[in-house]
Amino acid sequence: MKDYIWVEGAREHNLKNISLKIPKNKLIVLTGLSGSGKSSLAFDTLQKECQRQYMESLGMITENINKPNVRLIKGLSPSISVNQRVLNCSPRSTVGTVTEIFTYLRVLYARFGERYCSNCGEKITPSFNQSGEDYNDSDNNGDGLEKKFILCPNCKNKIFELGMSNFSFNKPEGACPKCMGLGKISKVNMKTLLNEELSVLDGAVSIWCSAEIKRFSSTLVNAGKYFGFPFDPSIPVKDYNNIQKNLLLYGIYDIRFKKNFPNIDFPKSVDNGRFDGIVNIVLRRYEERGDDINYRKKISKLIIEDVCPDCKGSRLRKESREVILGDKSITEVSKMSLYELMDWINELPNKVIPKCRLIIEQTLSNLRERVRRLIDVGLGYLTMGRASLTLSAGEYQRLRLASLLGSGLTGVLYVLDEPTTGLHQRDTDRLIKVLKQLRDLGNTVMVIEHDTEMMKAADYIIDIGPGAGKKGGNVIIAGTLNDVLNCNESITGRFLSGKELIEIPKKRLLGNGKFIRIKGARENNLKNINVNIPLGVFVAITGVSGSGKSTLMFDILAKFAQNSSSQIGNKCDSITGLEYIDKVITINQTAIGRTPRSNAATYTEVFNLIRDLFSKLEYSRKNNLKPKHFSFNVSGGRCEKCQGAGVLMIPMHFLPDEQVLCPECHGKRFQKKILGAKYKDKTISDVLNMTIDEAILLFENENKIKTKLLLMKKVGIGYLQLGQPATTLSGGEAQRIKLAKELGKSSKGHTLYIIDEPTTGLHPQDVKQLILVLQKLVSNNNTVIVIEHNLEVIKVADWIIDLGPEGGDKGGEIVAEGTPEEIMHSPKSITGMCLRKKIF
């Protein structure tokens, strides 16, 4: 038993009472069609039971914590799961802070950094900072911070002493006072906030609801009376004089207003006219709710974020930015890619004074190891200053994987969810080596994966299927690669052996002769490149991770195409050819909602149609039930104990919170009265628990509902439950829900679709189906651009634009462009080299 994990009678979700023995200390790949039951086995059975047993050993278990639906698990090891969730959404979090690399740099700069005296200009060396001649004093510079000082050895000038906290932008001692360590300042977009053609009462202020209009109008009128001038909220804002407009915009405390009333005391209450101004109200709310992503998105159209004019985006105070180590400031080092940072670390001992070399080496050794691990998992193109918010789910997962490599733990079961997401084939090979290192430490590494190279590298493969949802949940084959290749029942085996293929088109489309031309693209790492994108074809944007693909497509093309009034600015010289397309649709992998209340049914708006249908049932008419009563998001019909969630959250302190069924509605979400309404013997709760495939059969006679459901099935998510919370969806699933919604909108052709890695989380069989959907869009006179690493998609594209040659500063150039056949013969293209293996 000690060499295996024994699972008997696993029935979680769609698993069909499966039993298997999983060898320990191996690299194991769990594969199968999307929705076949891989996550149910790995996360909801093995990982959940590991967590339950751990809590039980600590005496933390309660009767509310559900045991996974499995008869027996033996030989289970302690487990660590790494899924595709970006856990830190704070704008203050960066790659450097998440990996703690920035902490090591703060140590280096605080102890060994060189400065120059502000009085005499002489260099103050680290040897002086460590001597016994330091002069310590405290002072308060008016910013509330107690500071220590040293004396310049040359002129005895008192100089601010810098410690580790002075190099942290998350501490007041180190943060730039202008932007408070964010690197950006927020300004209000007056065009979206205020319509000067309207009056305040008619809705001139876009963010005010009717109640706020009434309340604030009264305050403004009272402010006018207090200061002795009329304020009429019924006239257009454009007719206000400067004093009236400044009151509305900036409030009574702003110098632009109060300079007109130097001898008047200001009102103390809102009733007397105390008003902060709509600009200040918006900015204050935006800053106070900085970690609330939903709220920030809600008012993002009102906010323009510019680089901080004081720190130029570095986030740090002037004193901290001026310290030099190895010819670089900490700001300059933060802008380096991890590849460049490694070079700087290796050269640093030769650039510090001799007496510091032995002392500095221990810190550099730890720093070097952390950077190396990040490079090994394919993240060498990232910079330390990169905000965590901008990382993809795959990038964030690999950050966490790199930290696990440094833990040195043994005897652990690691469960990873598609770690190759977002990786170029070249980088996938590096990742496989990392996972084998983790295995060789004495750990069991279980990977949910669809990548064929990962499968070929595995010691053991478990293929779940044969289909998705209720058609899956069985173990088709569990064994070595050869066992899978020889299994005729395994779809995975057929793709691995070449018996099943995604066919290359016999003829590449040439397009309609029109082009979108981008000249001089130079945002982020792009090297002033000129790009010609043919219209009316299927285009793949390729290149290693960090080569500039997303910057080119989303930050430049999509941003300008979706808002032609926006300024190109310094991003590129010009973009032409947009007149040949009617609209642009971008589909990325961001979540469709940040709360469990959002799901596929609500996002695609099919739930509105279903609620309308239920409200028209005879039972509903008799009981006066309206569509709102069939919503779990508003009071009226939902269970108020759980507020329509169906579950209650139990805080688990140092572990993730646990969900338990609501004791009142037992997971049904609705009140008993609402559940009395039935369509074909199914309640509204039953419908939410159905898969999309099942719902198609239920609503086969309801054309509007069926059409939306069929679109979701077409993009490969028929296995999802209609009510599955958005927080449990992978990035790829969320993306395909977005695609289904867009496909449901009427289109006359000439639409440009820009899609970020649409095959994320898809089995080769699902990829085959998705390619047909994308090719159908092209055949309807649209243009489809995909950013993609999957060679099965790249090989069927009509045109490829390959960026590189590497990531970060070593990327940003066009390596090759043309048909797949032309790309694979390019001697400089890494993508072309990988394509040769696929096409030949």
Phi-psi region of 508 (alpha: psi -120 to 50; beta: other; left: phi over 0): beta
Residue 817's pLDDT band, with cuts at 50, 70 and 90, is very high
pLDDT of residue 654: 53
Residue 729's pLDDT band, with cuts at 50, 70 and 90, is confident
Grouping H, G, I as helix, E, B as strand and the rest as coil, residue 332 is helix
Stated as kind and residue range, the H or E segment containing 161 is none
How is residue 14 written in tokens? 């769609």
Contact 31, 477 (CB under 8 A): no
Contact 738, 744 (CB under 8 A): no
pLDDT of residue 732: 76
Ordered domains of the chain (ranges, CATH)? 4-86+391-497 (3.40.50.300), 187-306 (1.10.8), 515-590+752-839 (3.40.50.300), 600-726 (1.20.1580.10)
Grouping H, G, I as helix, E, B as strand and the rest as coil, residue 678 is coil
Stated as kind and residue range, the H or E segment containing 80 is strand 79-82
Cis peptide upstream of residue 466 (ω within 30 degrees of 0): yes
Contact 70, 42 (CB under 8 A): no
Residue 67's pLDDT band, with cuts at 50, 70 and 90, is confident
Phi, psi (deg, nearest 5) at residue 516:
-95, 125
What tens digit of pLDDT does each residue of 677-710 get?
999 999 999 999 999 999 999 999 999 999 999 9
Rounded CA gap, 815 and 829, in Å?
A: 6
Q: What is the largest CA-CA distance in the chain?
A: 93
Rounded CA gap, 386 and 220, in Å?
A: 43
pLDDT of residue 144: 42
Contact 654, 684 (CB under 8 A): no
Contact 673, 80 (CB under 8 A): no
Three-state SS sequence of 233-279: CCCEHHHCCHHHHHHHHHCCCCHHHHCCCCCCCCCCCCCCCCCCCHH
How is residue 570 written in tokens? 């310094």
Buried b (16+ CB within 10 A) or exposed e, 567-599: ebeebbeebebeebbeebbbbbbbbbbbebbbb
What tens digit of pLDDT does each residue of 160-188 get?
778 899 999 999 999 999 999 999 888 88
How much is the mean pLDDT over the chain? 88
Helices 278-288, 242-250: inter-axial angle, 10-degree rounding: 10
Instruction: State the pTM of this model.
Output: 0.80
Identify the residue with better confidence: 105 or 807. Answer: 105
| Residue the block writes with tokens 């009510």 | 723
pLDDT over 70 (residue 399) = yes
Stated as kind and residue range, the H or E segment containing 758 is none
pLDDT of residue 589: 76
Neighbour tally for 2: CB within 10 Å: 6
Of 280, 253, 267, whose CA–CA distance to 223 is shortest? 267
Rounded CA gap, 471 and 534, in Å?
A: 41
Rounded CA gap, 96 and 57, in Å?
A: 35
Overall average pLDDT of the 40-63 stretch: 82
pLDDT of residue 613: 97
Of 10, 2, 84, whose CA–CA distance to 40 is shortest? 10
Grouping H, G, I as helix, E, B as strand and the rest as coil, residue 415 is strand
pLDDT of residue 128: 39
- Cβ contacts of residue 236 below 8 Å, gap of 6+? 196, 197, 198, 199, 204
How is residue 512 written in tokens? 């309609």
Contact 455, 481 (CB under 8 A): yes
pLDDT of residue 132: 35
Of 342, 395, 380, whose CA–CA distance to 364 is shortest? 342
- Cβ contacts of residue 645 below 8 Å, gap of 6+? 596, 597, 632, 662, 669
Instruction: Report CA 265 to chain centroid distance, whole Å.
Output: 49
Least confident of 436-445, 614-623, 652-661: 652-661
Rounded CA gap, 228 and 813, in Å?
A: 63
Rounded CA gap, 585 and 83, in Å?
A: 28
Stated as kind and residue range, the H or E segment containing 304 is strand 303-307
Rounded CA gap, 252 and 225, in Å?
A: 13
Overall average pLDDT of the 41-49 stretch: 93
Cis peptide upstream of residue 309 (ω within 30 degrees of 0): no
Of 2, 84, 26, 81, whose CA–CA distance to 48 is shortest? 81
Of 445, 440, 443, whose CA–CA distance to 458 is shortest? 445
What tens digit of pLDDT does each residue of 266-294 get?
898 998 899 999 999 888 887 776 555 55
pLDDT of residue 61: 60
